[in-house]
Structure 1
Amino acid sequence: MMLKTAKPFRTKCFVLCVTTILLFITGYCLYKPLPEGFTVSKWDRAVMHVVEPALRVAYYYPSRMFSKASSMVHWTRGALNILSKTLGILVNTHGQIDIKWHNWNGTPVKVYRPIDNQTSTDGAILFIHGGGFALGNVEMYDSLVERMAYEMKTLFISIEYRLSPETVFPGGILDCEAAIDYFFQYGNAQFGVNTSKTVIMGDSAGGNLATVIAQRRAARNTLPKLAGQVLIYPLLQMADMQTISYRYFHARLNGYALVDPESVAYYYMFYAGIDMDEKAYLVPSVISNGHVAKHLQSDVEEMMSYKMVIESTRHYNNHSISERWEIEKNYEAQDLMEPFLTNPDFSPLMRKDLSNLPPTMVITCEFDILRDEGLIYAERLKASGVPTTAINYENGFHAMLNFHSELHEASKSVDDIERWTLNAINDA
């Protein structure tokens, strides 16, 4: 009887030991030490030592195995959609937010409204999610938007615009504007808000769309004016992919599951309507700036005029960063990208007149290739007389707000955003 019991016990122990050894070997193979200063607390660092390798396994490594760029996009979409469901589970709004889908002028939107209209303001926030114009959706940002709606006791509208490569520029802009036009026409009657107290908010590519929409409304003197714009690590240009934040990535962050130069090139070019299944060979020249035609360079340099200020004051803890490398000119890439690189509706950093824009908050992160363009835009806004608050999170990284309930640095940034946004609404 004892022999019969001992055999299954030994089998379970063997399986447990083998599993433990395999997990240890896997963890050892996947381990990459995070850069000094990446995340702010021991807890955040421990979490990211688990999350970052998991992201590499879930989407970063598999996406690089596909022969077609569109397959890479579809895999990454699916992986991130699944992974996002594990985030924000600690958020508890105590049933105080009423959430409903609507269709506004053909664009789906999700409305987050304090129940019984128990709002602290009579304003509203229009939220546009990120994802390189090709990834992400409203559901992926559910916990973040619901948290902000609850803590701010304010109406939020999250916009489900169409993605590339299926829908190319300017399709996403037009989807967002269609929904926003509906809100400004019917928001007062439907929700009892003062539409002149509306703040537009977006992260990454959503920050691009929010910036473009704010610029277009200002250029046309469209009423009501926005009360403010919150641009969270925004994607603002692709004419200079050798800024110091890009070069730091190549020197220190290559191979991590963070936003990388190649992905920006792929997603931006998909958004431009270029078939990257056929044109993937252009990417190496693009990330060296070989896609910028000579006659556009002076305009690009003018709009990037604060680049030298950024590069002379921010050194990544004096980490060794290479000088700009040689440009690999590619005339095909130049011809394909010429209509877009200095078009402010595509690259909003390239808009020359910024004087009529609403008060602005610009969020950037130290460990983000997009850091410099956000900082440059903030400096140009200030120089144009636009009330601007710029915060660079020294320990932050791109897309950290998706971990708002897991990481201290991300949660702190949400608090900062909420405080600024409420002040913008109340001051309108």
Structure 2
Amino acid sequence: VILVFGVIIYRPLPDKLAASTTSDRVTIHIFDPLARLFYYYPTRYLCPSADCRLQWMRKASALLKWIVGPSMDDNDPHLHMETTHWDGVKVRIYYPRDIAAAESDGAILYTHGGGFSIWDTKIYESLTRKLAQQMSTRLFVSIDYRLAPETPFPGAIDDCERVLEYIIAHGPQKFGIDPKKIVVMGDSAGGNLAAVISQRRTSRGSLPKILGQALLYPWLQMSDLQSPSYRYWNREMDKLTFLDPLTLAHFTLWYAGIDVQARPDFAQAMTEFRHYMDYSLLPGPFQDKLNCTDFPKLNSPIQELSDSLTPFLTDPDFAPLMQPDLSNLPPALVLTCEFDVLIDEGVIYAQRLKQAGVPTRWVHSEHGFHGMLSIHSRLDVAQ
């Protein structure tokens, strides 16, 4: 029975995926079928509605929390941590028990991923605690921003900016930080929020300026789900548990406040979108994944979907890749992963930042995959 079950659920993985060490390869071969069994298959085949899909994904987060590491208490000899509310926004904060021992008097503001709709600071506890320990700043803040669809765009942005303003106003007195040394950091949808915060603060001329932005496999646009990295995923990684185009379409619609429950055809139609991205900014190997002119045949467009989404897809606050002027933004670190539908937009954003004169470091993980930092405790490639 076990052998038959194994044959049914087994899916071959790309050769280079998590292949930096043997232990990583073994881990991913265990993680992928488990995640498909408890996450991908139920949401794709058992949930009859978008609401069911959302609730199942949120409940499956409990499994992820178990996978990413054992439960941890707040008893750390060197790091103080607590959950509190700043200006009405729930935050998880970390700071050295001996503030004077911190290597930097700066602060880091972390915005978690999860498609704006799932996950929270508890899921990220292992990662954010490790980052707080390693970076040794006087303050590290992980924001529990409100989630869509209950709180659609721009609710998450508002929450993040309120926390940022709170840090600027109260951080120097409470934690001894220098408000000119604040870095925003986020992964996936959190990378979107970090980029948006940086853009908005720059365009407004707000002071103090943000010191830097770290965008980890960021989700930066929703108007082109037929770029080479998306089509590579459709060809090579379909039915694996990693971030897929249909899930991204649902996340987009929920974040935009569009009633997916009433129009279940919208999400699938959105996976055929292709607009705006300039593939010429991609390095050759990224273009070569698929023939960039080899687009699939589109189904009949849904005009109502286009009319509903266009105001969001072209708004830089929603999709920061759409920002026409990237000059004067804070120095940036952009991390992309080989096995991720979001590679192309991350690479293009990094190239555009460089062209705009922004000091930018682009780091690409050839064995990495979307969300790998969430299970960093199990993977060498995520260290």
**Structure 1 residue 52 corresponds to structure 2 residue 32:** yes
**CA drift at 1:28:** 2.4
- Indicate whether 1:313 and 2:285 are aligned: yes
Q: 1:326 aligns with which of 297, 306, 317?
A: 297
TM-score (norm 2): 0.94
TM-score in terms of structure 1 length: 0.85
Which residue of structure 1 lines up, in the alignment, with residue 173 of structure 2? 189
Which residue in 1 is equivalent to 2:309? 337
Equivalent-residue separation in structure 1 for 2:297 and 2:8 (angstroms): 34
2:79 maps to 97
User: Structure 1 residue 402: deviation in Å?
Assistant: 0.8
Shift of 1:308: 2.5
Amino acid at match of 1:83: L
Query: Cα distance, 1:73 vs. partner?
Result: 0.9
Match of 1:367 in 2: 339
Determine if the alignment matches structure 1 residue 399 to structure 2 residue 371.
yes
TM-superposition CA deviations, 1:35-83 (whole Å, max 9, x none)? 0110122111110000010001111111121111121111111111332
Q: Which runs of 5+ in 1 are unaligned?
A: 1-21, 291-296, 412-428
- In structure 2, distance between residues paired with 1:362 and 1:83: 25
Aligned equivalents of 1:341, 1:244: Cα separation in 2: 19
Instruction: Give the Cα separation in 1 of the matches to 2:283 and 2:50.
Output: 33
The counterpart of 1:158, out of the listed 142, 146, 159, is 142
The secondary structure found in structure 2 opposite 1:147 is: helix
How far apart are 1:185 and its partner, in Å? Answer: 0.6
Aligned to 1:9: none
For 1:349 and 1:44, the matched residues in 2 are separated by: 32
What's the offset of the Cα at 1:321? 8.6
Amino acid at match of 1:26: F
Paired residues, number: 377
Aligned residue runs from structure 1 range 14-413, under 5 A:
22-39=1-18, 40-64=20-44, 65-89=46-70, 95-117=77-99, 118-154=101-137, 155-289=139-273, 300=276, 304-305=277-278, 307-310=279-282, 312-314=284-286, 323-328=294-299, 329-411=301-383
Alpha-carbon distance in structure 2 between the residues aligned to 1:346 and 1:30: 37
User: Matched residues in 1 for 2:150 and 2:348: separation?
Assistant: 31
Larger Cα Rg: Structure 1 or Structure 2?
Answer: 1
Q: Which residue type is aligned with residue 266 of structure 1?
A: H
Is there any run of 5+ residues in structure 2 with no aligned partner, and where?
Answer: none
- What's the RMSD between the two structures over aligned residues? 1.9
* CA distance in 2: counterparts of 1:123 and 1:91, whole angstroms: 26
Q: How big is the shift at 1:289? A: 1.2
Q: Which structure has more helix as a fraction of its residues?
A: 1
**Structure-2 change in CA distance of 1:274 and 1:311 (3 Å):** farther
SS in 2 for 1:173: helix
Identity, in percent, stands at: 42
**Larger displacement relative to structure 2 (318-327 or 214-223):** 318-327
Residue 214 and residue 232 in structure 1: after superposition, are their counterparts in 2 closer, same or farther (change >3 A)?
A: same
After superposition, the C-alpha distances for 1:374-416 in whole angstroms (9 at most, x for unaligned) are 00000000000000000111111000001111111111xxxxx
CA contact (8 A) 2:227 2:292 kept: no
Return the alpha-carbon distance in structure 1 between the equivalents of residues 63 and 235 of structure 2: 31
Deviation at 1:283, TM superposition (A): 2.4
**140-149 or 84-93, which deviates more:** 84-93
Cα distance, 1:91–1:314 mapped onto 2, change above 3 Å: farther
